[in-house]
Amino acid sequence: MKVLIVEDEIELQKTLADSLRREHFVIETAGDFESASEKLALYDYDCVLLDIMLPGGSGLRLLDELKETGKSGNLIIISAKDSLDDKLKGLELGADDYLTKPFHIAELNARVKAVLRRKTLNGRNAIEFSNILLDLGERQFLVDGKDVALNRKEFDVLNYFLLNKNRLVTKNALAEHVWGDHIDQADNFDFIYYQIKNLRKKLQSAGAGIEIEAIYGIGYKLVEK
């Protein structure tokens, strides 16, 4: 899988590249409009992360170019500008997602993988790992082919972990992803802990081959047993 990161902020570019490499993607980077335009014209990428505000031109213009050459798709806009206009325009021009800075690495992973899976999907929208299967279409969770009942939020939590398997998912990232902005109070990490505890119990009693590890009190990691 080949991913192009178009981001003028070098530190961020490096960090994103570093993180995505851990997912075993092949990463290329571009720091301005010109080089991005050139790379996009020469090569095909499975996924493009595109900053809108670039030296030399707007990322939206790149989107335009891509659309004209029929290479649009699998593109995630990353922008500091949480502007509805830009978001709508970007999505209209064929971007698959819009991610506002700052974001958690886990969130980026999840978005990238969601985009990639949509591309490589063969009619079935599901994640398989170890002895479990998460069917996103039917919203079913199967362990060894047997249905395990999860509530809506538990399903979302598990999905998020599976998109970030073997990666750190901080409590903040998890809370934002699953409960939206509704828990922005620090003392409610207890609530996350409580939710994770329940999910762990269900995984254990169903005999799932995965488990959720706690990492230094800051977050969790889903690993195979």
Partner 1 sequence: MKLLNQSLKYLSVSILLILGLWAVVFYFNMLREIKESVDEGLENYKRQIIRNAAEDSSLLAKRDFDEGLFTISEMSKREALEAKDSYLDTLLYMQDRDDEVPELEPVRMLVTAFELDGRYYELKMINPMVEEDDLVKELFLEAIWLYLILLIAIVFVNNLVLQRLWRPFYDFLEQLKNYRIGKSKVQPKAETQIKEFKDLQTAVKTLLQHAIESYEQQNQFIGNASHELQTPLAIATNKLELLIENGTLESGQAESVAEVLNIIGRMVRLNKSLLLLSKIENRQFLDNQTVSLNEIARQAAGDMEEIADFKGVQIVLESQDDILVDMDPSLAITVISNLLRNAVFHNIEGGLVKIELRESRIKISNTGQVESLDGQHIFDRFYKSDSSQAGTGLGLAIVKAICILYGFEISYRMEGGLHCFEIDFRKS
Write out the residues near partner 1 by the rule CB under 8 A: 9, 11-12, 15-16, 18-19, 22, 80-84, 100-106, 153, 167-168, 170, 172, 179-188, 190-191, 194-195, 215-219
Smallest distance from partner 1 to CB 186, Å: 4
Enumerate the β-bridge partners of residue 97: 76
Smallest distance from partner 1 to CB 91, Å: 14
Residue 80, token pair as written in the block: 């500091």
What distance lies between CA 210 and its chain's CA centroid?
20
Nearer to partner 1, 66 or 164 (CB): 164
Nearer to partner 1, 79 or 142 (CB): 79
Q: Inter-axis angle of helices 10-21 and 105-120, to 10 degrees? A: 60
Q: How many Cβ atoms sit within 10 Å of the Cβ of residue 223?
A: 15
**What amino acid occupies position 161?**
F
**What amino acid occupies position 44?**
D
Report the C-alpha gap between 177 and 161 in whole angstroms.
11
Nearer to partner 1, 83 or 131 (CB): 83
Smallest distance from partner 1 to CB 214, Å: 11
Smallest distance from partner 1 to CB 219, Å: 8
Compute the residue count for the chain.
225
Nearer to partner 1, 34 or 190 (CB): 190
Smallest distance from partner 1 to CB 50, Å: 15
CB-based burial label for 120 (10 Å; 0-12, 13-18, 19+): exposed
Nearer to partner 1, 102 or 123 (CB): 102
DSSP 188: G
